[in-house]
Chain A
Amino acid sequence: METSYLIGAIFVASIMTYLTRVTPFLFFRKKEPSQLIKFIEWNMPVMIMVILVFYALRDVQWEVYPYGLSEIIGVFIAATVHVKFKNALLGIFLATLTYMILVQMVFIV
């Protein structure tokens, strides 16, 4: 990967991240945000996150063996561990570990 690409991307990502964090301090110091803004702020985050799940799965080849089974099992583990044990990191860790075992040792293409 090119150095200029990496540095440019890091620069842009850092500006964008700071922007999302500083926005309320810049714009809503006095005025209350409108109903519509509040509605979007309440509901957009969950929609973004769900769509990001599907985005992360966009290159899975569902019609070819193993038919996305590693991904389905991984998502299932992440969700159930998180719901059962209320522990996000445990869910991420176990799901990733299982997925790595599946793609490396079980569903070898």
Chain B
Amino acid sequence: MSFFSIFKMTIPVLMGYIPLGMAFGLLLSGLLIPWYYAFFMSVFIFAGAGQFLALGMFATQATILEIGIATYLLNLRHTFYGLSMISALKEFSWKKHYVIFGLTDETFALLKTNEVDEKERERIYLIITALNQSYWIIGSVLGALLGNILPFNYKGIEFSLTALFVVLSIDLYNKSKQRKPFLISIVIGFIGMLALPSDKMLILSLSFAAIVLILFKRALEDGN
């Protein structure tokens, strides 16, 4: 498969990553963080929602430990994605670790929806991942630089994070078999938001959700 036809496969991700990356970069510059951190984050972390979350936590001066826990929990869905990629990457060399590193929502969706010949798979997967990451890096650096140049009021741009969570919640709800966990987490989140101290809200609500899920596994599976 030619490089150009692989590039064509990644165009939907290009269309998504440039604007979303720019939103990330703009937000980063709105927090008065130097632009090259947008580059470092997109090179070393490479997680859309994860990087937005990190910025939100920088803004509230969260500790590094809290950032670590929250990042792990937010990206836990990737563990689930990876389960269905094990056989596809089985024959790959050590280079598979780059593909695993780059298994974002969008890259995963792309790899899953495009059937490729087994002999060419390693090369194609590596190129797709590298192209996708380069779009994300370009978008975020562009956004960060733009934020430094343009005299524009970015107040409220952090809402992109809330909107991202709303959209991802709907996607995951549509994909899940059970309805009850969704409803229960609305109740837990709502109470947590109103009643729990804002710096401990996330970890307490998530722990409580996990406990409810494990204790009431049987009841939650019954009916939909």
Q: Which of B3-11, B46-54, B118-126, B130-138 contacts A (4 or more CB under 8 A)?
A: B46-54
User: Which residues, 1 to 48 on A, are CB-close (under 8 Å) to B?
Assistant: 1, 5-6, 8-25, 28-29, 33, 36, 39-48
Contact between chains at B167 and A100 (CB < 8 Å): no
Chain A contact surface mostly = helix
- Can you name the residue of chain A whose Cβ is closest to the Cβ of B168? A49
Contact between chains at A96 and B159 (CB < 8 Å): yes
Contact between chains at B163 and A45 (CB < 8 Å): no
Which residues does chain B contribute within 8 Å of A102, judged by CB atoms? 156
Given contact pairs A88-B167, A92-B20, A56 touches B161 in the complex (Cβ within 8 A): yes
Q: Could you tell me the distance in whole angstroms from the C-beta of B67 to the nearest C-beta in chain A?
A: 5
Q: Which residues of B pack against A, CB within 8 Å?
A: 16, 19-20, 23, 31-33, 37, 40-41, 44-47, 50-51, 53-54, 56-58, 60, 64, 67-68, 71-83, 85-86, 89, 96-97, 100-101, 103, 153-157, 159-173, 175-178, 181-182, 184-186, 188-190, 192-194, 198, 201-202, 205-206, 209-210, 213-214, 217, 220-221
Q: Which residues of A pack against B, CB within 8 Å?
A: 1, 5-6, 8-25, 28-29, 33, 36, 39-59, 62, 70-71, 74-75, 77-79, 82-83, 88-89, 91-93, 95-96, 99-100, 102-104
